[in-house]
C-alpha cells in the first residue's frame, strides 16, 4: 500500500466528490492520506476530515507562508493541538515555511522577516507538542536552514515538494529531514536529476493534489490515485523495482507521522 503524505482533500476542489476521490485512491492502492492545513479554515477542516475518516485521513495544522501578510493567529493552531480529542487525528504541524517566489518583481508571500517569524512560531509549537513539521520551502533554502539553526535542536519533519539542489539535499540529510516528491518529477528535468540522489530512507511520496498533476494527466485536477505514477517514475529514474519505492516510502511515512 501507498500513503499520500500531502494531499489537500480539505480544499473546495473536492467538495462535490471527496468520497469518490478517496475511494478511487484506495482502489489504486493509496490507503492513507496526510491532509495539511494552509490557513485557519483548512486546518480546521483537515481535523474534521480526519475524524470522519478515522485511520485513513490524518490531519496537519498550520499556516502556509502565503498567510504571513495577513497576520494569522498562531494560537489557533495551538488550540487545535491542545485539544485532547484531536490528539490521534493531528499528526503534524504544517504546512509552514518560507516562500520567496517573486511575482511581478515582488515576493508574493510578503516580507521575509514576517514569514520567518510565522515559521519559527510553528516550529516552536511542533516542538512543544512533539509533532513533526511539514515544511514548505520555495526559493528560500538559505534562510530556511538559518531559521532551523536558531532552534535548540532541529525539528523532525519533511521538506514537502522538495525543490532544492544537491547542496540543499546534503544539508537536509544532515538534519535528518525527509524529502517529499510529487508529480512534477514526471516533467521537471531539474527534479529528475536530483531525486535519484535522495536516499530511500528519506523519501516520501505526495501528490500535493489538486496541484502538480503528473504526466500523462497534466491539465486535469490532480488526485491521490496518481501516487503510483509518481512511484513508477522514481523507480525508473533509479532503476530499481517499484516495490522497493512503495515499501521504503510507506515505512518512512509511518515512522515520521506515527501512523
| Residues at the contact surface with Zn ion, assessed by CB under 5 A | 95, 136
- By beta-carbon proximity to Zn ion, the closer residue of 67 and 78 is 67
Asked whether the beta carbons of 46 and 14 are under 8 A apart, the reply is: no
**Cβ of residue 62: shortest distance to Zn ion, in angstroms?**
10
Residue 8 or 246 having the CB closest to Zn ion: 8
| C-alpha–C-alpha distance, residues 180 and 51, integer Å | 25
Q: Which of 119, 117, 157 is nearest to 34 (CA)?
A: 157
Alpha carbons 126 and 155: distance in angstroms, whole number: 8
Coil, helix or strand for 89?
Answer: coil
CB neighbour burial string for 119-139, b if at least 16 within 10 angstroms, e if fewer: bebbbbbbbebebbbbbbbbe
Beta carbon nearer to Zn ion, 60 or 246: 60
The nearest distance, CB 94 to Zn ion, in angstroms, is 9
Give least dist CB 97 to Zn ion, A: 7
We find the least distance from the C-beta atom of residue 76 to Zn ion, in angstroms, to be 19
Output 26 or 101, the one with its CB closest to Zn ion: 101
CB nearest Zn ion: which residue?
136
CA dihedral 27, 32, 37, 41 (to 10 degrees): 60
Nearest residue to 224 via CA among 40, 107, 53: 53
Nearer to Zn ion, 95 or 143 (CB): 95
> In terms of CB distance, is 66 or 145 closer to Zn ion?
66
Counting every residue, how long is the chain? 259
Closest CA to 132 of 108, 161, 156, 150: 156
Q: CB of 118: closest distance to Zn ion in angstroms?
A: 14
For residue 160, the minimal CB distance to Zn ion (Å) is: 5
The number of C-alpha atoms within 13 Å of 117 and in the hemisphere containing its C-beta is: 12
Q: Which is nearer to Zn ion, 162 or 226 (CB)?
A: 162
Q: Residue 57 Cβ, how far from Zn ion at the closest point, in Å?
A: 18
Write out the DSSP string of 53-87: TTTTEEEEE---GGGGGG---THHHHHHHH-GGGT
Amino acid at each position: 500500500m501507498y500513503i499520500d503524505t500531502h494531499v489537500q482533500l480539505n480544499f473546495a476542489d473536492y467538495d462535490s466528490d471527496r468520497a469518490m476521490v478517496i475511494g478511487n485512491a484506495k482502489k489504486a492502492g493509496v490507503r492513507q492520506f496526510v491532509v495539511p492545513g494552509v490557513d485557519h479554515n483548512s486546518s480546521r477542516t483537515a481535523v474534521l476530515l480526519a475524524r470522519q475518516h478515522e485511520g485513513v485521513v490524518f490531519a496537519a495544522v498550520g499556516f502556509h507562508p502565503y498567510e504571513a501578510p495577513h497576520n494569522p493567529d498562531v494560537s489557533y493552531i495551538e488550540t487545535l493541538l491542545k485539544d485532547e480529542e484531536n490528539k490521534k487525528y493531528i499528526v503534524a504541524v504544517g504546512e509552514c515555511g518560507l516562500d520567496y517566489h517573486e511575482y511581478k518583481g515582488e515576493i508574493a508571500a510578503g516580507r521575509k522577516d514576517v514569514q520567518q517569524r510565522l515559521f519559527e512560531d510553528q516550529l516552536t509549537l511542533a516542538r512543544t507538542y512533539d509533532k513533526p513539521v511539514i515544511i514548505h520551502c520555495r526559493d528560500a533554502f538559505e534562510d530556511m536552514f538559518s531559521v532551523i539553526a536558531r532552534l535548540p535542536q532541529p525539528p523532525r519533519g519533511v521538506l514537502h515538494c522538495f525543490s532544492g539542489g544537491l547542496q540543499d539535499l546534503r544539508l537536509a540529510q544532515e538534519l535528518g529531514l525527509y524529502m517529499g516528491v510529487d508529480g512534477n518529477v514526471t516533467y521537471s528535468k531539474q527534479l529528475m536529476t536530483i531525486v535519484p540522489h535522495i536516499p530511500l530512507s528519506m523519501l516520501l511520496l505526495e501528490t500535493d493534489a489538486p496541484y502538480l498533476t503528473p504526466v500523462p494527466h497534466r491539465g486535469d485536477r490532480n488526485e491521490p490515485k496518481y501516487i503510483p505514477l509518481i512511484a513508477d517514475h522514481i523507480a525508473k529514474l533509479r532503476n530499481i523495482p517499484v516495490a522497493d519505492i512503495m515499501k521504503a516510502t510507506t515505512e518512512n511515512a509511518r515512522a515520521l507521522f506515527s501512523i
